[in-house]
Amino acid sequence: MAKTTHQTKPCADGFCFLAGLFFGLFGFWSLTLFHYKRHFGFIPFSAKASDYGAEAPFLHSDPPHETFYDDPELSYFVEKPVNNWDQKRRVWLDLHPSFTAGSRDRVLLVTGSQPSVCKNPIGDHLLLRFFKNKVDYCRLHGHDIFYNDAYLHPKMDSYWAKLPIIRAAMLAHPEAEWIWWMDSDAVFTDMEFKVPLGRYKDHNFVVHGWPNMVYQDKNKSWTGLNAGVLLIRNCQWSMALIDVWASMGPLSPDFERWGQILTSVFKDKLFPVSDDQSSLIYLLFTNKEKWGDKTYLEGEYNLEGYWLALVGKYDTLTESYIKMERNEGVLKRRHAEKVNEWYDAKREKYLKGRERRPFVTHFTGCQPCSGEHNLQYSADSCWNEMKRALNYADNQVLKNYGFVHPELSSSYVSVVRS
């Protein structure tokens, strides 16, 4: 049986084809628009591609041009100086222009712990939670993080171990303007606070401290600053500081003599050993023009806060923040974690005149890994307050996921009631 055929008249100049294509695309667009609107994901046509991450650093290629990495004399070892670092870093950034945007405020947080298993039975668990706390903070604020559990120089362990790590991090991350060192036993307890980097535009080194206890002879103390939390600019000045600073440590043939010198200078220093903190203070006041003038002793917020002075405030501060959120509806509104910083900025105006959370709580003297805490504290006070501090910080993260630790002394969680 023959098929029935239908003869059609072709469209002039392809008009019918174009019309059909137009109506087909219009129908598809209409269905897609309706679908997105129904699912609350409609993206307005005015949005630009750059608004959705197109300007992020490009990570998938490395130009063939030679950089300092190609120098066979380059050494990551702390004993070998690096020269002309500012120029070398600038050349690298010029060859990697996608890292230029935001480079002046780019931060790499560096922390770590010893390579061996902790002697304290709960030490490894505590270190894991301390690390989680730092990862949470970095995720919320867009910082990279490097956790190291190896001694990068066989002689530089304990409190001296950070210098080889910081120096290696500077070389490994020329895109980072600041290296932020945090001791393993330091906890972020205000997850919203952002370090005011603009305040330090004329400085290369930031540490919590008190000028009168560093520079005045009658008040000079080996606790005039705390070197457990510090910001150091990724520049030649910092490379030189690390070289001089490290030369007062275990690498030096005069290590024992340095211990005697520091003990004679700091009358409140009870042990005749050259430590990183006393050595740093010594460098600042003996050569203030070179080192001190580029060092910012921060005292306006808790870049590093002594735990005994802070842990008793957590419950009161929790109630204060809950009351503030209750009175200001925008702060109580549930939101995605990715837009936290917008809400953090809104909160700032309501914090004026109020006591705010301590930024960092540092458990100096507690030694969670070895368990060899300062004898003026009990072991239980150290471990219990660490747990409370970690839960206090964790509440600020968990609320974005709909949960909270109702009791800071317990890891139990409950659903947040709106």
Q: Are residues 149 and 123 in the same domain?
A: yes
Q: What is the pLDDT of residue 59?
A: 82
Q: Is the pLDDT of residue 226 over 80?
A: yes
Where does the pLDDT of residue 3 fall: very low under 50, low under 70, confident under 90, or very high at 90 and above?
A: very low
Q: 44 lies in a domain?
A: no
What pLDDT digit, counting tens, does each position of 35-73 carry? 433 333 333 333 333 333 336 788 888 899 999 999 999
In this predicted model, which residue has the larger pLDDT, 153 or 41?
153
* Alpha-carbon distances, residue 338 vs 298, 335, 417 (angstroms): 29, 8, 21
Amino acid code (one letter) for 229: V
Q: 33 lies in a domain?
A: no
Q: What is the pLDDT of residue 332?
A: 85
Mean pLDDT of the chain: 87
Q: Is the pLDDT of residue 160 over 90?
A: yes
What does the buried/exposed string (b/e) look like for 347-383 if buried means 16 or more CB atoms within 10 Å of the residue's CB?
Answer: beeeeeeeebbbbbbbbbbbbbbebebeeebeeeebb
Q: Where does a domain end: 304, 332, 364? A: 304
Q: Are residues 275 and 320 in the same domain?
A: no
DSSP for residue 306: E
User: Per mean pLDDT, which range of 5-9, 46-50, 264-268 is the poorest?
Assistant: 46-50
Where does the pLDDT of residue 33 fall: very low under 50, low under 70, confident under 90, or very high at 90 and above?
A: very low
Q: Are residues 380 and 344 in the same domain?
A: yes
pTM, full prediction: 0.85
Q: 338 lies in a domain?
A: yes
Domain of residue 165, CATH code: 3.90.550
Q: Are residues 126 and 240 in the same domain?
A: yes
Q: Of 405, 406, 321, nearest to 357 (Cα)?
A: 321
The predicted model gives 329-345 an average pLDDT of 90
Q: 324 lies in a domain?
A: yes
Where does the pLDDT of residue 76 fall: very low under 50, low under 70, confident under 90, or very high at 90 and above?
A: very high
**CA atoms 82, 86, 91, 97: torsion sign:** positive
User: Per mean pLDDT, which range of 135-139, 194-198, 200-204, 341-345 is the poorest?
Assistant: 341-345
Q: What is the pLDDT of residue 329?
A: 79
* Alpha-carbon distances, residue 333 vs 132, 194, 400 (angstroms): 26, 21, 10
Amino acid code (one letter) for 330: V
Q: 113 lies in a domain?
A: yes
Q: Compute the distance between CA of residue 219 and CA of residue 211 in angstroms, rounded to an integer.
A: 10
Q: Are residues 80 and 196 in the same domain?
A: yes
Q: What is the pLDDT of residue 24?
A: 53
Q: Where does a domain end: 304, 319, 334? A: 304
Sheet strands side by side (includes 360-362)? 186-188, 360-362, 305-306
Q: Where does a domain end: 280, 304, 328? A: 304
Q: Is the pLDDT of residue 18 over 60?
A: no
Q: 372 lies in a domain?
A: yes
User: Per mean pLDDT, which range of 20-29, 119-128, 397-406 is the poorest?
Assistant: 20-29
* Alpha-carbon distances, residue 320 vs 83, 316, 326 (angstroms): 51, 6, 10
Where does the pLDDT of residue 418 fall: very low under 50, low under 70, confident under 90, or very high at 90 and above?
A: low
Q: Can you say how many angstroms the Cα of residue 304 is from the centroid of all Cα atoms in its chain?
A: 13
The predicted model gives 62-85 an average pLDDT of 93
Q: Compute the distance between CA of residue 187 and CA of residue 131 in angstroms, rounded to an integer.
A: 9
Q: Compute the distance between CA of residue 82 and CA of residue 382 in angstroms, rounded to an integer.
A: 40
Where does the pLDDT of residue 146 fall: very low under 50, low under 70, confident under 90, or very high at 90 and above?
A: very high
Q: Compute the distance between CA of residue 263 and CA of residue 398 in angstroms, rounded to an integer.
A: 46
Q: Are residues 181 and 322 in the same domain?
A: no
**CA atoms 249, 195, 284, 233: torsion sign:** positive
Count CB-CB contacts under 10 A for residue 392: 25
Q: Can you say how many angstroms the Cα of residue 47 is from the centroid of all Cα atoms in its chain?
A: 31
Q: Is the pLDDT of residue 238 over 70?
A: yes
Domain total of the chain? 2
Where does the pLDDT of residue 155 fall: very low under 50, low under 70, confident under 90, or very high at 90 and above?
A: confident
Q: Are residues 288 and 318 in the same domain?
A: no
- Which domain, by its residues, includes 342? 309-415
Where does the pLDDT of residue 100 fall: very low under 50, low under 70, confident under 90, or very high at 90 and above?
A: confident
Q: What is the pLDDT of residue 17?
A: 47
Q: Are residues 376 and 293 in the same domain?
A: no
Report yes or no: 285 and 292 within 8 Å, Cβ to Cβ. Answer: yes
Q: 186 lies in a domain?
A: yes
Q: Provide the β-strand partners of residue 415.
A: 403
What pLDDT digit, counting tens, does each position of 360-410 carry? 999 999 999 999 998 888 999 999 999 999 999 999 999 999 999 999 999
Q: Are residues 171 and 259 in the same domain?
A: yes
Q: Are residues 294 and 320 in the same domain?
A: no
User: What would the DSSP string read from start to end of 198-222?
Assistant: GGGTT-SEEEEE-HHHHH-GGG--T
Which DSSP helix (H) or strand (E) runs through 180? strand 178-182
Q: Compute the distance between CA of residue 328 and CA of residue 308 in angstroms, rounded to an integer.
A: 32
Where does the pLDDT of residue 107 fall: very low under 50, low under 70, confident under 90, or very high at 90 and above?
A: very high
Residue showing tokens 């190609």: 70
Where does the pLDDT of residue 15 fall: very low under 50, low under 70, confident under 90, or very high at 90 and above?
A: very low
Q: Can you say how many angstroms the Cα of residue 68 is from the centroid of all Cα atoms in its chain?
A: 26
Residue 289 dihedral angles phi and psi, to the nearest 5°? -60, -40
* Alpha-carbon distances, residue 405 vs 144, 239, 415 (angstroms): 27, 43, 9
The predicted model gives 245-250 an average pLDDT of 96
Where does the pLDDT of residue 81 fall: very low under 50, low under 70, confident under 90, or very high at 90 and above?
A: very high
User: What would the DSSP string read from start to end of 353-415?
Assistant: TSPPPPSEEE-TTT-TTT----TTS-HHHHHHHHHHHHHHHHHHHHGGGTEE-SSTT----EE
Q: Compute the distance between CA of residue 360 and CA of residue 242 in angstroms, rounded to an integer.
A: 24
Q: Are residues 297 and 317 in the same domain?
A: no
* Alpha-carbon distances, residue 351 vs 89, 111, 157, 356 (angstroms): 39, 30, 41, 7
Percentage of the chain beyond pLDDT 70 is 87
Q: Are residues 172 and 321 in the same domain?
A: no
Question: Judging by beta carbons within 10 Å of its beta carbon (0-12, 13-18, 19+), is residue 288 exposed, middle or buried?
Answer: middle
In this predicted model, which residue has the larger pLDDT, 15 or 309?
309
